[in-house]
């Protein structure tokens, strides 16, 4: 069975480069690619009652939007390279969610673009990439 690599993507050129890099290596190594986009979400955020009421519908909209605008273009790149691909959109803390999905899917390698978070968040908490490097149980490649 083909080994799976996980590629974490969001909007932006760094993700495109990561997907191109992953597709290239997948062709050579016979990997399968799991494309994942994580929508930043915390179960501990504060909401208004009407936000809660609409949350189920809103969540589905967010997933559909990400599928269409984030995943679809990346998927096209992988498919163009003739590599088998699966996709997933999840809500959660990006680094933790990527690591969980890597474990659940017996992923052998995680590949991400270097830019993820931006500005203040990154200065305080470190980027998704650096947290992956620190906490993942499989090798992580960060594509500049």
Partner 1 sequence: MEQSMRHRQAPPAGSAKVRLAVIGAVILGFFVALFVGAPKPITWPNPTPQFEADASAFDRVSGWITSLVFYGPNAGGEVDIRLIVLWLVTAAIFFTIWLGFLNVRGFKHAIDLVRGKYSDPDDAGEVSHFQALATAVSGTVGLGNIAGVAIAISIGGPGATFWMIVAGLLGMSLKAAECMLGVKYRQEHADGTVSGGPMYYLRDGLRDLGRPGLGKVLAVIFAICMIGGAVGGGNMFQSNQATAQIVSQVGGEDGFLGNNPWVIGLFFAVAVGAVIIGGIKSIAKVTEKVVPFMAVLYLTAALIVLLVNFSDIPAAFGAIIDGAFTGEGATGGIIGALIVGFQRAAFSNEAGLGSASVAHSAVRTKEPATEGFVALLEPFIDTVVICTMTALTIIITQAYLNPDAAELGGVALTSSAFETVLPWFPAVLAIAVVLFAFSTMLSWSYYGMKATGYLFGDNVLAENVFKGIFLFFTLLGSIASLGSVINFSDSMIFLMSLPNVIGLYLLANVIRGEFTHYQDRLKSGEIKEFAHRH
Return the closest-CA partner of residue 115 out of 125, 126, 127, 124: 127
Taking the complex as a whole, the smallest distance from the CB of residue 105 to partner 1 amounts, in Å, to 13
**Interaction of residue 103 with partner 1, rule CB under 8 A:** yes
Residue 120 interacts with partner 1 (CB under 8 A)? Answer: no
For residue 9, what are its two tokens? 């993507």
Binding track over 83-102 against partner 1, x by CB under 8 A: -------xxxx--xx-xx--
Give the number of residues written for the chain.
144
Q: What is the SS3 assignment for 61?
A: helix
- Binding to partner 1 by CB under 8 A, coded x per residue (else -) over 47-86, reads xxxxxxxxxxx-xx-xx-----------------------
Contact present, 29 and 1 (Cβ < 8 Å): no
45 binds partner 1 (CB under 8 A): yes
């Amino acid at each position: 069975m083909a080994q799976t690599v996980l590629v974490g993507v969001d909007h932006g050129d760094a993700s495109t480069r990561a997907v191109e890099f992953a597709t290239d290596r997948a062709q050579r190594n016979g990997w399968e690619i799991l494309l994942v986009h994580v929508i930043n979400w915390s179960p501990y955020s504060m909401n208004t009652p009407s936000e809660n009421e609409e949350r189920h519908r809103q969540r589905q909209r967010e997933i559909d939007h990400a599928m269409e605008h984030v995943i679809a273009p990346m998927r096209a790149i992988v498919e163009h390279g003739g590599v088998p691909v699966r996709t997933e959109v999840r809500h959660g803390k990006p680094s933790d969610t990527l690591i969980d999905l890597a474990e659940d899917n017996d992923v052998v390698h995680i590949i991400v673009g270097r830019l993820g978070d931006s500005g203040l968040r990154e200065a305080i908490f470190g980027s998704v990439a650096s947290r992956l490097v620190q906490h993942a149980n499989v090798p992580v490649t960060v594509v500049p």
